[in-house]
Amino acid sequence: MISKTSTLNRVLNPISLLKLSNTFRLRKQLLLAVSVALFVIAIDVNASHSASRIKDITEFEGVRDNMLVGYGLVVGLNGTGDSMKNGHFTKQSLKAMLNRLGVKPTDAGLDSKNVAAVMVTAKLPPFSRKGSRIDVTVSSLGDSSSLLGGTLLVTPVLGADGEVYAVAQGQLAVGGFAAAGNAETITKGVPTSARIANGGIVEREVKFELANLKSVKMTLRNPDFTTARRIAQAVNAFLGTSAAAAIDTTTVQIRVPRDYKGNVVNLLTDIEQLRIVPDQLARVIIDEQSGIIVMGENVRISTVAIAQGNLTIRISEAQQVSQPGPFAEVGTTTTTERTDVGVDQGGDNRLAVVNEGITLQEMVNGLNALGIGPRDMITILQAIKASGAMQASIEVM
């Protein structure tokens, strides 16, 4: 038989009470951790709809294309080349090319219509190596009517420093054509512009040592202080250090952590997959020529009354025949002019009140309810801005 005293001592044992207290504390911490995790997951799910990857809104400094340009000749055209009488530079280029090949042409013999002078442009992608191929674009420089069927001769393409970075040559792929008859001409696309897929071979590399960088800079495509700060916060939260800092509205600088030294590619790969919600200015973009209006999400309007009305005068002319009655002894048949003048002062248009702090959708619905077209809406938006009731900037393209 167990005594009451022994039972009480076992229940009030300090060690047992401590274990019981620790158990409740662990359960409480576990429940708190699960609640926080579920809350964070819910936030991530809601924010993922508007969040963007860092790689989609920024560019890494130094990782960019380089523009190349060159001058060359296209041969093999079916009588659609440059006119040698008017295109002096085409004749000089053709003569210089033939001289390099050991041919001594005369001015009288340079009357071909199958040659055209062209400009060759290309983009040298970042980290392009010798021997890799790039696409080139060929555009007519003279009075050639079409580059269809032409072949680009060996053409060096140069960078901004005057050095040759690639050499282009190949058959042209023209997306348009032109056909002419005695009474009609048909042109589709631009036959004086062509493209050569993989038509350029890289001969010189742009030196850029990515692995030895001690810091990396990211440039925002849409500069903004808040967006730059959010990027820095997301990077620091991922790395667990204060390696990233927003320098200005455009630049975020990241010091390469010790774990990523000598392997910056892994750092950039991890960072560019992070997601943030970019911030944007309250802005209204207006294109006066086409009547296009683009309004940002953060555009807000203070309380304002809007009325829109037009004075319209319509004048219509009609001729009416006037003739005497049947069996009338006097009178002749004549025509008389009838003028109908109508005036519309826009009396059906009423004054509408736009309440303070409305959303973009509510403002659009209110203006549409007034029967306002894009042209009149442009004028109204500019008038609202002039009155000081619009908390946004207006840019006219």
Higher pLDDT, 38 or 297: 297
Same domain flag for 106 and 226? no
Is the CB of residue 157 less than 8 Å from the CB of residue 124?
no
pLDDT tens-digit series, residues 325-345: 676 666 677 777 666 655 555
Same domain flag for 80 and 186? yes
Q: Is the pLDDT of residue 117 over 80?
A: yes
- Confidence at residue 395, expressed as pLDDT on a 0 to 100 scale: 82
Same domain flag for 188 and 216? no
Nearest to 218 by CA among 206, 193, 235: 235
Same domain flag for 241 and 291? no
Give the domain CATH number at 248.
3.30.70
Which segment, 47-51, 162-166, 298-302, is predicted with the most confidence on average? 162-166
Same domain flag for 112 and 154? yes
In the predicted model, what is the mean pLDDT of residues 141-169?
93
Same domain flag for 150 and 233? no
Q: Is the pLDDT of residue 55 over 80?
A: yes
Residue 351 lies in a domain: yes
Higher pLDDT, 204 or 312: 204
Nearest to 127 by CA among 216, 65, 68: 65
In the predicted model, what is the mean pLDDT of residues 124-153?
92
Same domain flag for 288 and 268? no
Higher pLDDT, 387 or 73: 73
Is the CB of residue 117 less than 8 Å from the CB of residue 90?
yes
Same domain flag for 289 and 390? yes
In the predicted model, what is the mean pLDDT of residues 379-397?
80
Higher pLDDT, 148 or 43: 148
Percent of the chain clearing pLDDT 70 (strictly above): 69
157 vs 168: CA distance, rounded Å: 7
Mean pLDDT of the chain: 78
Nearest to 378 by CA among 283, 282, 291, 301: 291
Residue 258 lies in a domain: yes
Q: Who's near 347: CB < 8 A, 6+ residues apart?
A: 309
Q: Is the pLDDT of residue 191 over 70?
A: yes
User: What distance lies between CA 293 and its chain's CA centroid?
Assistant: 17
- Confidence at residue 198, expressed as pLDDT on a 0 to 100 scale: 93
Q: Is the pLDDT of residue 242 over 60?
A: yes
Of the residues 164, 186, 202, which one is the last residue of a structural domain? 202
Residue 38 lies in a domain: no
Q: Is the pLDDT of residue 8 over 50?
A: no
Of the residues 202, 231, 264, which one is the last residue of a structural domain? 202
Residue 41 lies in a domain: no
Residue 242 lies in a domain: yes
Same domain flag for 306 and 181? no
pTM over 0.75: no
Q: Which domain holds residue 248?
A: 210-276
Percent of the chain clearing pLDDT 90 (strictly above): 31
Q: Who's near 371: CB < 8 A, 6+ residues apart?
A: 349
Q: Who's near 315: CB < 8 A, 6+ residues apart?
A: 339, 340, 341, 342
Residue 196 lies in a domain: yes
Q: Is the pLDDT of residue 133 over 50?
A: yes
Same domain flag for 316 and 375? yes
Residue 70 lies in a domain: yes
Nearest to 95 by CA among 109, 81, 74: 109
In the predicted model, what is the mean pLDDT of residues 358-377?
69
Q: Are strands 133-140 and 193-202 parallel, antiparallel or unpaired?
A: antiparallel
| Lowest-confidence region among 102-106, 175-179, 183-187, 350-354 | 350-354
| Lowest-confidence region among 143-147, 344-348, 383-387, 390-394 | 344-348
Residue 144 lies in a domain: yes
Same domain flag for 352 and 227? no
Confidence of residue 2 (pLDDT cuts 50, 70, 90): very low
Of the residues 202, 231, 248, which one is the last residue of a structural domain? 202
Which helix (H) or strand (E) segment holds residue 378: the answer is helix 374-387
Q: How many angstroms separate the first and last alpha carbons of the chain?
A: 97
Number of domains in the chain: 3
Q: Specify which residues 305 forms β-bridges with.
A: 353
Same domain flag for 190 and 224? no
Q: Is the pLDDT of residue 368 over 60?
A: yes
Is the CB of residue 271 less than 8 Å from the CB of residue 316?
no
- Confidence at residue 1, expressed as pLDDT on a 0 to 100 scale: 44
